[in-house]
Each structure stands twice: as structure tokens, then as C-alpha cells.
Structure 1
Amino acid sequence: MGFVGGGEGAFIGKAHRQAAGLDGRFELVCGAFSRDPENNRATGAALSLPASRCYGDWQQMLRAEQALPAEQRMELLVIVTPNHLHAPIAQQALGAGFDVFSEKPAALNLPELQALEQVLAGSGRRYGLAHTYLGYPMVWQAREMVRSGVIGTLRKVIVEYPQGWLSRDVAGQGNKQASWRDQPEQSGLGGCIGDIGTHAFSLAEFIADQPIEQLCAMLGTHVAGRQLDDDAAMLFKMADGASGVLIASQVCAGEENPLKIRLYGDKGGLEWQQEQPNSLVHRSLDQPLRILRSGVGQPWLCEAALQRMRLPAGHPEGYLEAMANLYGDFATAIRSNLPGPDAPGVPGIEVGLRGMAFIETVIASHRGDAKWTALVSPL
């Protein structure tokens, strides 16, 4: 694999490299880690890459890697840049014959993403998105329990993602991660709703196993001078009749990363929290509450969940392991030569399109006067 972005000082690039290396199925062979030549050189040296495979920019990297013999060149390009570069780099990489794993969102807007979809369809390559929370084993367990009717007919979904790191003007204090996220030309149309709201949205659709069809949204910007939203709340309706609530905010002072979802049917409910990812709470209408715990070999867990676990019960697995599951599924697709454009188990272009349609629908709902705004599938 090769990396674009993720130079020294960038959290998410390091997390990707650690996750991809966890199971030993990928080797980092090249990168264009930073526009800063010294940062780029230092990152490559720290990762024990030869100077000849540390490129000055991603265009040079694609040309040089494409020219190498097949047994030497990278196979998968990982994109961990600010949002505005995701689609342009992915398009060029797919056209050059490389598979792509990209940070989300997949593009700045829906037309840009639809153009990427067309390139992907004609490339014969595979494409994945880093919706990391969909890699957690107990998320798959919850999905299977909903699908198999354990909680009955789904009635209510409540998903929330509060963070507190943007409660102050940290961009004005020099925080680069906050700064580019508030620039529409780099971040896209949404701030909080694009950064973490899409995670809550995709988690709800994945576990409920049905799409959100209508929503009624309100956005807020609570810090003076901020260009994009830092707070969002909405009601929604799902395809099979369930109603729901989604809250995403980055100004909930004191919160860390407590993504949480609750689902209720006519027979019971489920609850999963990202900060306690090894536990899944199952509530029953006429039985005591039980807590299902992750762990290799637990006979009460579904096969999809067990396939994504590495350790016995009581040994916590977390964010890196969840992301590693996405990389593992991508490695299986490459090594098995499975046809694209998706790698089974990895969120792909359809998840990206749904997420982008969600962002634009939320903004339209916030700006409009209609009680309900249809979330029309762009597929």
C-alpha cells in the first residue's frame, strides 16, 4: 500500500498505518505524506521507507508507481488528506489501475462523487471508505439481531454522536485539524454534520438494515466566526416505518467520543456505545436485561461478529481493531481477486453516496420551510 497524506503530526494517518499493519496483510511501500518537504522526508524516514519511494506529491507518486514492475508497485492507495482532495486523488488512482481506500467523506459534493462513481465503474478496481465504526464486531452482532427478528419489528432508532473538542475557537488558536474542517473549500458543505453526523447516519442505516427516507433537521453554529455548522439535530423516518432521532454535535463540552445507538422493536431493544465497544445491551419485553460481550469463540455471537474478533473475552478491542477489520476485508478481496467495485465487508461507493445525499438533504431541510424533506437515493 501507498499513502497520500498522514505526515508527522496527523492523527488519522498514523491510525490507518497501525490498523493496516495489525494483521500483517499489507506492507507500506511508498507515500506522499505531506506538502511540506521536510515533513514528508521525516515521515518516510521514520517509517523506514527508501527516499526513492517518498514522493514530493501524489501525482508524482502515481506516475512513478505505475511505471514499476507489477511485483514492486503498490496495489492499494490510502487517502488520508483533507476532504477536498479525496475525490481528485481517487479518480486519478483508479484510472491508473490502483485500488483505493479513502477517508470519508468521499467527495466535497454529490456531483463530484457521482463523477467518481462513473470513473470507478469503468476502472475495474475496488474502492472503500473508512467508516471505521462499521468495523466493530458488536455492530455486526446488533445488525444480525435486528435482521433475525430478535427485537421484533423495528419501531424506534436513537443515534447520537456528541463531541466537545470544538467548544472553543481552537482553529483560531492554531489547531490545523479544526482549521481546515471549517473551510468549505476544503471540508465541503457540512461541518459537524459531514465530519461526524455521517458516521451516526451510516451506523443507523447499517444496523437497522433499512434506509432513512425523510428527515426534519436543524443545524447550529455556536462559536462566533465559524463558517460551518458545529451542531445538528433531526427527526427521521425509515423505509419500513421506524421513526428516529439523530444528534451530532462538536460543542458538547467535556464529551470525548461517545457515539451511541439504541434500537427498539416490539419485542425488545439493543444499545451499543463506541466507548464501550465490546458490550451490546439487549433489553427484552418480558425477560431480564442481558449484556452480550465480545470474545473469540463465544457461542452466542453471530459468525459475522466472530470473524471480526481477535482476542478472548475480557481483552478489549477498540478503534484500531475496527479499522483493521476493514483493511482485512480489503486484503481478502485483493488476494482473492474478487471483482470490484466493492470489497465485501468494507463500506464502499454506495455508502459514500448515501452519506453525501444525507449531508445535502440535512442542509436543505435546515434552510427550507417544509416539515419533512425527502432523502432521495442517488444510486
Structure 2
Amino acid sequence: MRLRMGMIGGGPGAFIGPIHRIAAELDREIELVAGVFSSDPDRSRAAAADYHIDPDRAYPDLDTMFAGEAARADGIDFVSIVSPNHHHLPAARAALTAGVAVMSDKPMTASLAEARALADLVATAGRPYALTYTYSGYPLVREARARIAAGAIGTVRKAVVEYSQGWLAGPAEGKQAEWRVDPARSGAGGCIGDIGVHAFQLAEFVTGLRVTRLLADLAAVVPGRALDDDCSVLLRFDNGARGVLLASQIEVGELNGLRIRVYGETGGLTWRQETPNDLTLHHIDGRTEIVRAGDASLGPDARARTRTPGGHPEGYLEAFANLYRDFAALLRGEVAPLLPDATEGLRGMAFIETAVTASRNEAGWVDLKL
């Protein structure tokens, strides 16, 4: 039987809500059946019609949804939170208090204090909680992690992660842009919270290391903008390795240029989100190896997360779907060790807040503290 999903957010005009719906339903393990798609009841009903779900299960608010679904024999098994950052904590709290599991879009909350409160609630609620750090769902990202863990490049010495976009180089116009540059809805971080935290999570996920210190330079380049839109951060990892994190939304011509490079004692590797089915490995003897999605040499996790034969490109939606597949396994009592959880969510919020505060205060190198 398929698991039943409720959605919080994702109303008319939303980008990420339909992405979550498609990804969740891709493997036919999950079905979207209910939701509070907007704070406006009429817009919530309009979204339900777009999603082709029962209009009686388009609820006007969270309390009504959780009460209504609890009264049904076929009530929701979990919710997916796809609303702006400032709503993540109240939505997750309402769900967990109602005994409903949570899959949340990143970042975890709008502030580190909220993330700490939510992490405490997750620890006591006894229900699964996970975050959609999308890029950790790509098969070759998981292959990169596995190869580094197996010693394929030796001890990690340096990691460079870049996330380049250009869509906010001008005025922030439209629903998707406006809330991202509004501190009341986004939180203290702009670009650093929107895409910089993805880069941070990817660096830790692939290397298997933890960032312990950072030096941040965040800027609001576009005149009048209240939040950062261009970020440069130096990193130090717990094994002594150095790192560089660059994130920008004002680089004209860039689309979704996420790239990670990791260098070790005996080799290096590179992965790019815009060509996600190739993983490049460099060996210290001068050889360069291209590993492709579907290759026979892939490890078990990467193979299990690949749906089509080699040469049939998979990408963003499939990576998202891999996270939902892992979450479905978790709800059925299985293990999903690579699924981003509350600990990763808390680390992400600590990174955002530490970087913002350190940059504003020109504090130099600072410790990353949860």
C-alpha cells in the first residue's frame, strides 16, 4: 500500500511544491492526498484542483488538516513542508505534535534558535524527520562519497564547492524571488541560506568530514537588498583539510552551477550538477577516469539509486525521488543512513547563522558551534 502524503505550502505559482509532488510519486510508493497549500483557503482549494486531489482534503489551516486526517481511516502518514523558511518550525511542530512524520524542504528553520528547538522536538517526538538536501540524492554524489570513504583519493586535503546562479542579479520580482530577499520570511541569510547551505551540506556529505571553523565574506551586491546575494567562505574541516565555498545569485549567465571538487593525497574528483551523470577522478600517476551513471563499477548504493541504463540521463527529479524513496523506507521501519536528518539540518542552520554573523562583524576565523 502506498504511503499517504500531506503537503504544507506549494500553492498556485509555487515552484518547489510540484517538484516535491512529482518526486514523491515517481516510484509509486507515495501518493499526495491532502494539504494546506496556502494560507488563503481559496488558493488552497485551487491548488488541490491542480494536484487532482479530493477538494475536501484541501484544508484552510494546519489544525484542521491534522484533526481531519486523524479522523480518517486513510489519513496521511507524513507531511512534506514546502513553504518559505519562516514557516518550517511551526509547520513541523504542528505535525510532530500530531504524531505525523515530517519531510521538510531546506533549510531546517529560519534561525539557529528555531533549529535547536526543532531538533529537541524531533528527539522526543518519536516520528521520522528528514530534509530534502536534493543533491545528496544523486547516484554519482553517493558514489563520490563511497569512493572517498574507501580511500580512493587518500586522505582528503582540500574541498572546493561552488554554487553559481544569476537569476537575482537584478530586481527580485515574482513570488519565488520576493520571499528569498525578505528577512521576515527567509531568515538572516539570503543566498547563503538558499543555496549556500546546499553547498555546505554537499561538502560535508561527500567528504565525510565536518566543518569546524570558517571565515566568511557575505555581501548584498544589488543596491537596496537587505540580505546577502554573493558569498565567499573559507572552511576548515575536522581532519585539518582546507575548503572553499562560493555561492552567488548575481553571476549573470549562470543557471544552477553547483560543482564540488575534492583533492586527496593520491587523487581528486569532480562532480557537476549540470552534468550529473559523470564523475571525474584524477589519479596521482596522471590518469583521468570518467565514471558514468549506470557503469558496472558503481557501488551498491549508487546502483540502487539509478533507474535507467547507462546513456539515459537522470537528474534533479530522480535525485529528489531518491530522498523520498529513502524516507518511505524509514517510515516502513527500514534504515536509510544517507537520508539528511535533524542533525544535518541543525548543522546547516549553524553554518548559515555563523557565516552571517561572522561576516557582519568582520570577526575573522570563527568556530562553527551548534
TM-score range, shorter chain: over 0.9
Q: Deviations over 1:49-87 (max 9, x none)?
A: 222111112221112112223xx1000101110111111
Find out whether 1:229 has 2:228 as its counterpart: yes
Once the two structures are superposed, the pairs formed by residues 188-267 of structure 1 within 5 Å of their partners are 188-267=187-266
Q: Is the 8 A contact 2:13 2:175 kept in 1?
A: no
Once the two structures are superposed, the pairs formed by residues 71-150 of structure 1 within 5 Å of their partners are 72-150=74-152
Find 1:312's aligned residue among 309, 314, 334.
309
Q: Is the 8 A contact 1:330 1:344 kept in 2?
A: no
Query: What is the aligned partner in structure 1 of residue 272 from structure 2?
Result: 273
CA–CA distance in 1 between the matches of 2:116 and 2:303? 35
Once the two structures are superposed, the pairs formed by residues 22-101 of structure 1 within 5 Å of their partners are 22-69=26-73, 72-101=74-103
Report how many aligned residue pairs link the two structures.
366
Q: Is the 8 A contact 1:333 1:344 kept in 2?
A: no
Amino acid at match of 1:371: G
Change (3 A) 1:244 1:44: same
Deviation at 1:338, TM superposition (A): 4.4
Deviation at 1:375, TM superposition (A): 0.8
Deviation at 1:277, TM superposition (A): 0.5
Query: What is the aligned partner in structure 2 of residue 179 from structure 1?
Result: 178
Deviation at 1:146, TM superposition (A): 0.9
Q: Deviations over 1:145-198 (max 9, x none)?
A: 111111111111110001000000133xxx111111111111011000000000
Find 1:357's aligned residue among 350, 360, 368.
350
Using the size of structure 1 for normalisation, the TM-score is: 0.94
Amino acid at match of 2:357: A
**Structure 2: gaps (5+ residues):** none
CA–CA distance in 2 between the matches of 1:118 and 1:234? 29
CA–CA distance in 1 between the matches of 2:57 and 2:363? 54
Q: Residue 206 of structure 1 aligns to a residue in which SS?
A: helix
Once the two structures are superposed, the pairs formed by residues 292-307 of structure 1 within 5 Å of their partners are 292-295=291-294, 298-307=295-304
Using the size of structure 2 for normalisation, the TM-score is: 0.96
Query: What is the aligned partner in structure 2 of residue 347 from structure 1?
Result: 340
Change (3 A) 1:85 1:369: closer
Higher mean C-alpha deviation, range 72-81 or range 107-116: 107-116
Q: Residue 30 of structure 1 aligns to a residue in which SS?
A: strand
CA RMSD of aligned residues (A): 1.2
CA–CA distance in 1 between the matches of 2:10 and 2:300? 34
CA–CA distance in 1 between the matches of 2:340 and 2:18? 20
CA–CA distance in 1 between the matches of 2:25 and 2:367? 41
Instruction: Give aligned-pair identity as a percent.
Output: 49
Deviation at 1:117, TM superposition (A): 1.4
Query: What is the aligned partner in structure 1 of residue 289 from structure 2?
Result: 290
CA–CA distance in 2 between the matches of 1:63 and 1:228? 38
Find out whether 1:17 has 2:21 as its counterpart: yes
CA–CA distance in 2 between the matches of 1:6 and 1:184? 20
Q: Residue 227 of structure 1 aligns to a residue in which SS?
A: coil
Q: Residue 324 of structure 1 aligns to a residue in which SS?
A: helix
CA–CA distance in 2 between the matches of 1:158 and 1:364? 22
Amino acid at match of 1:280: L
Q: Residue 77 of structure 1 aligns to a residue in which SS?
A: strand
Higher mean C-alpha deviation, range 38-47 or range 182-191: 38-47
CA–CA distance in 2 between the matches of 1:347 and 1:58? 25
CA–CA distance in 1 between the matches of 2:81 and 2:14? 13
Change (3 A) 1:91 1:338: farther
CA–CA distance in 1 between the matches of 2:70 and 2:119? 22
CA–CA distance in 2 between the matches of 1:122 and 1:375? 25
Q: Deviations over 1:246-281 (max 9, x none)?
A: 100000001000100001111110000000000000
Deviation at 1:319, TM superposition (A): 0.3
Q: Residue 31 of structure 2 aligns to a residue in which SS?
A: coil
Q: Is the 8 A contact 2:172 2:181 kept in 1?
A: no
Q: Deviations over 1:78-135 (max 9, x none)?
A: 1110111111110110110100001111111111111111211111100010100010
Find out whether 1:331 has 2:307 as its counterpart: no
